[in-house]
Structure 1
Amino acid sequence: MNYQESREYIDRVTREIPSVLGLEHMRELMKRLGNPQEDLKYVHIAGTNGKGSVIAFLYSALSQAGYCVGRYVSPTLYSYRGRIAVAGQMIDRDSFALYLTQVADAIQVMTADGFPHPTAFEIETAVAFLYFKNKGCDLVLLEVGMGGNLDATNIINNTLLAVLVSISMDHMSFLGNTLSEIAEKKAGIIKEGSHVVTVRQKTEVMEVICEKCRSNHAECTVADAAQAQVVEEGVEGQTIIYEKECYRIPLAGIYQKENAVAALNALKVLDGLGFPTTAEQKKEGLEKVSWNGRFTVLDTEPLFVVDGAHNPAAADMLVQSIEHYFKGKRLIYIMGVFSDKDYQSVIRKTVPLADQIFTIQTPNNVRALPAQKLAEAIEKINPHVEATESVEAAVEKAYGLAEDKDVILAFGSLSFIGIMTETVEEEKKKRKEQQND
């Protein structure tokens, strides 16, 4: 297959093969591919919110130290291939097509032998393992897709470090209806004798993690963000003091302090596991981190911020950030959500703060809630809502309504952030041209 054919193959599998949790099919597929994942070492990251940010911090710092680091994340905002990257470069088209062809060939034989067809996520994960092995990665930063214990990424055995970010209620239909049940699944990435770093969690979650560490003889470090102090901040970044060291972080959002502290503790553990980084490399790594779509400023006149808040816990964090950075400001929302998310909770938490809300249907996704249905749900709490036919229309309406000191905030799903960013850039160009006429 060429790259276009490989993408069409993935799209077809996404439509036809439903997502499942379980390792049986993944084990069979990887065995037929020669188990390339066994030749790599891992930092495995699970949790509800903050996985991508912690990986971004680690990826930047470890790369600064000269290690060949692989990164596997999902979803991606701007390029499909961005989910698989090594040494700062996403997988090239030819490599993706090459390894996907190998995986597809193995699947053809596998299904002929009577095994079920792997899911799109399992296929992408297999491609990542093949690519990381071929690139000779020193270490792979591996993000869990959903849950932990039965996620396709949990086929790995060589986990040096498991990192657990904030765990809250999400994917209940797959993971359970209580925090303890969900924590049990996410803590399933903890392997016998591995090291663990967790942020400070709610009591019932900490109990599960501590028990899982005890039963697996895993050494646990609790990264406590309360021990870090923010000494300078704004919508374009913040500076924190942690363990007497000063770190500049070019990411806003009050939750990024916790993610940075988790990453710093992970780096400290890795120091003793054969991957040391100097104090300067840690500082430089955090300062040069790039992770868009998390309370990211797209424009300043007026202020336009995009955030991936898509579940109740993320909505709580977003509200805290709004009240922290934009107290007293007039807020204009652009919202789009997935129908299978707890969007009612997100609505209850966020929409009372808005002066006007424009709803969109997340483009090109079968899970997207129609803009009109979202508007009807919002209207029960805030009547100042209007459904729009596209991202472009919502952005144009928001800009048309906003005055200089107002804030436009787009959120509800990570999936539309790429097109939202492109649309805002086009709108900025158009406005600049109009000013110059």
Structure 2
Amino acid sequence: MNYEEAMNFIQNTNKFGSVLGLDNIRELLERLGNPQDQLRVVHIAGTNGKGSTLAFLAGIFRESGYRAGRYVSPASFSYEERFRINEENISKKDLCFYMEKIKNVAEEMVKDGLSHPTMFEIETALSFLYFLDKKVDVVLLETGMGGRLDATNVVKKPIATVIASIGMDHMQFLGDTLEKIASEKAGIIKEGCPVISYDNTKEVNEVIKNKAKQMHAKVTFVNSAGIRVLQESLNGESFSYRSSDGRWYEKIEIPLLGRHQINNAALALETLNVIKNYYCISDFQTEDGMRKTIWRGRIEILEREPMVICDGAHNPDGAKSLLSFLQNNFTNQRLIYIMGVLSDKDYEQMVQILAPAADKIYTVAPDNPRALSSRELCNCISKYHQNVEERQRLAECLSEVRQKAEKDDVIIICGTLSFQNELINQ
């Protein structure tokens, strides 16, 4: 199988859609030798902050000399980016090798009267095969959607399960209340495996506590009261932290912007405390890894004059975090949004949150089959903001806005992670 054939195969699996449930992925992995059972896995679920938390952990492992594997979905800049070891993408040669192996097994499953694996199931299986062969020291595994019925939940015995920030998203699949969504996310908690959780709302925390108790799992929550913000700026954040077990971190510096990233960093620190017996990681390596963390497209400053910021916030809680950052840093500057969204997101609530702070809003359609048209988004925004105009694509719109903007203006590209790939050549 060459690269073109591999890409055709995986793209053709789109027709099988997204299927919640573990029967098919279990069968696929059984036929592949159950590679997931031979890996050390940190498994994380949540609405927001999953990727950032794992990015912090990946940075720490990298600076400590360990090999950390991550399956990242969706990818931002290339397909190979989905399968990474210490920030290095899988090679096209390896990708073709594993894709062909899985294709053969998938065809056998269909011949035996079983369902063809979905794209996410194939990619999950591929990541396990790849990470096992490359002898990674840890797999930082992020759920795709939910947790209980997500394909990644095939892992039987992770060294830790992590619950990130929980908010309203994917309600058609996960439920229409925070408690229902939290219950689905908490479905990754395994018998006797330690749990580390973001400090969510009281109702959500109770769901996690009850599930952990049911599974005889010790649960550790981020100590929100132990966070002391030392500095917030456009160059990064710094904070001190007293962990739940009383450990003191005097000064942690992170390059990711926004108050919410401090909370994600604290979640990563608590996770590290829980799994420390598996690895030898010094305080210096922890601090260095945090300071060197890389995670593109999360309140990322692309240019300074005028300021151009890209943020992948794609649900109401993400919109709130972005708004908080903008209000804290640009109180007396004009904010110009270039906004695009996916049609299956709660974009109207995102608009209600973000629109009042803007001076001008342009709408575009992301390069994604699930994109909402720029016209529909413009019509939605017009209910909450008078100064909105429709454009077609991001590149042309950004060029126009750059030319019109004053040097002190702030241009914010937001609404979906799909924009990252479109910004590569801008």
Q: Which TM bucket (shorter chain)?
A: over 0.9
8 A Cα contact 1:40 1:158, kept in partner? no
Q: Distance in 1 between matches of 2:84 and 2:371?
A: 28
2:287 maps to 1:279: no
How far residue 77 of structure 1 moved from its aligned partner, in angstroms, is: 1.4
In structure 2, the residue matched to 1:166 is: 165
In structure 2, the residue matched to 1:339 is: 343
In structure 2, the residue matched to 1:212 is: 211
How far residue 263 of structure 1 moved from its aligned partner, in angstroms, is: 0.5
In structure 2, the residue matched to 1:179 is: 178
How far residue 421 of structure 1 moved from its aligned partner, in angstroms, is: 4.2
CA RMSD of aligned residues (A): 1.0
8 A Cα contact 1:270 1:276, kept in partner? no
How far residue 366 of structure 1 moved from its aligned partner, in angstroms, is: 1.5
2:382 maps to 1:383: no
How far residue 165 of structure 1 moved from its aligned partner, in angstroms, is: 0.6
2:133 maps to 1:134: yes
Q: Which moved more, 1:314-323 or 1:81-90?
A: 81-90
Q: Distance in 2 between matches of 1:352 and 1:151?
A: 36
Aligned to 1:250, which of 230, 252, 255? 255
Paired residues, number:
420
How far residue 258 of structure 1 moved from its aligned partner, in angstroms, is: 0.2
How far residue 224 of structure 1 moved from its aligned partner, in angstroms, is: 2.3
Q: Which moved more, 1:378-387 or 1:138-147?
A: 378-387
TM-score (norm: length of structure 2): 0.97
Q: Secondary structure at the match of 1:142?
A: strand
Q: What letter matches 1:261 in structure 2?
A: A
Q: Deviations over 1:4-24 (max 9, x none)?
A: 21111111111x111110001
Q: Distance in 2 between matches of 1:346 and 1:232?
A: 28
How far residue 117 of structure 1 moved from its aligned partner, in angstroms, is: 1.1
Q: Deviations over 1:283-302 (max 9, x none)?
A: 00001100010000000010
Q: Secondary structure at the match of 2:237?
A: strand
Q: Secondary structure at the match of 1:45?
A: strand
Q: Distance in 1 between matches of 2:325 and 2:47?
A: 18
How far residue 260 of structure 1 moved from its aligned partner, in angstroms, is: 0.5
In structure 2, the residue matched to 1:295 is: 299
Q: What letter matches 2:95 in structure 1?
A: F
TM-score (norm: length of structure 1): 0.94
8 A Cα contact 1:183 1:208, kept in partner? yes
In structure 2, the residue matched to 1:86 is: 85
Runs of 4+ aligned residues of structure 1 deviating over 6 Å after TM superposition are: none
8 A Cα contact 1:319 1:350, kept in partner? yes
Q: Secondary structure at the match of 2:425?
A: helix
Q: What letter matches 1:181 in structure 2?
A: K
Q: What letter matches 2:52 in structure 1?
A: S
Q: Distance in 2 between matches of 1:327 and 1:81?
A: 40
2:203 maps to 1:200: no
Q: Distance in 1 between matches of 2:194 and 2:2?
A: 41
Q: Deviations over 1:333-366 (max 9, x none)?
A: 0001000000000001001111111111011x22
In structure 1, the residue matched to 2:244 is: none
Q: Distance in 2 between matches of 1:254 and 1:339?
A: 28
How far residue 244 of structure 1 moved from its aligned partner, in angstroms, is: 4.1
In structure 2, the residue matched to 1:348 is: 352
In structure 2, the residue matched to 1:433 is: none
2:411 maps to 1:420: no
Where do 5+ consecutive residues of structure 2 fail to align? 242-247
Q: What letter matches 2:207 in structure 1?
A: V
Q: Distance in 2 between matches of 1:99 and 1:213?
A: 36
Q: Secondary structure at the match of 1:386?
A: strand
In structure 2, the residue matched to 1:233 is: 232
In structure 1, the residue matched to 2:402 is: 399
In structure 2, the residue matched to 1:430 is: none
Q: Distance in 1 between matches of 2:331 and 2:305?
A: 18
2:405 maps to 1:410: no
Q: Residues 111-126 of structure 1: matches in 2 within 5 Å? A: 111-126=110-125
Q: Secondary structure at the match of 1:197?
A: strand
Aligned to 1:263, which of 259, 268, 272? 268
Q: Which moved more, 1:327-336 or 1:226-235?
A: 226-235
How far residue 401 of structure 1 moved from its aligned partner, in angstroms, is: 2.1
